[in-house]
Copies of this chain bind each other. A is one copy, B any other.
Amino acid sequence: MSRLDSFIRRLQAQRACLSEAVEQIRGVDGFVLELGLGNGRTYDHLREICPDREIYVFDRQVNAHPDCVPAEDHLFLGEITATLPQALARLGANAALVHTDVGTGDQKSNERLAATIAPMMRGIMLVGGIVISDQALPAPGLTPLALPDGVKPGRYFMNRAV
């Protein structure tokens, strides 16, 4: 499979997981965290599918399309290991949905980052909340969920906070 094919499948998987998660958190009243703004495409999608929820965004710096830059009071800039604790202090453990796509081309470094943030992630989530991620997130209190139809295991990850 070419990298173009693989990339299209990854984006479709991401979108399918987001839709599925939004369905599953209907009864969980909380906010949305987007870890990794990037060019802002997924943030824009989250705004569309979660019009009634507060969305907070995390990134090292803003490189997004001007239409996809969150308001300053919904933006945490800096290293995620520093900004997640800041968000917890300010917002409490009230996240119903977390999407994290902070991976780079370096798989080893991705795994290290995932292992660091996985336990922090659970700490900011409501019970019943869902985290969707481009890396596996093994952590106490996070239970892997079945992926939507058509999403190959390992292409994307969904976990519920229990």
| A interface residues with partner B (beta carbon < 8 Å) | 2-5, 7-8, 11-12, 14-15, 39-42, 44-45, 47-49, 65, 67-68, 105
Q: Once the chains bind, are B15 and A45 in contact (CB under 8 Å)?
A: no
- In whole angstroms, how far apart are the Cα atoms of A41 and B7 in the complex? 8
Given A8-B11, A8-B12, A11-B11, A3 and B44 touching (CB < 8 A)? Answer: yes
Given A8-B8, A11-B8, A12-B8, A3 and B105 touching (CB < 8 A)? Answer: no
Cβ contact of A11, chosen from B7, B14, B40, B42, cutoff 8 A: B7
- Copies of this chain present in the complex amount to 2
Cβ contact of A48, chosen from B2, B14, B49, cutoff 8 A: B2
Q: Once the chains bind, are A45 and B11 in contact (CB under 8 Å)?
A: no
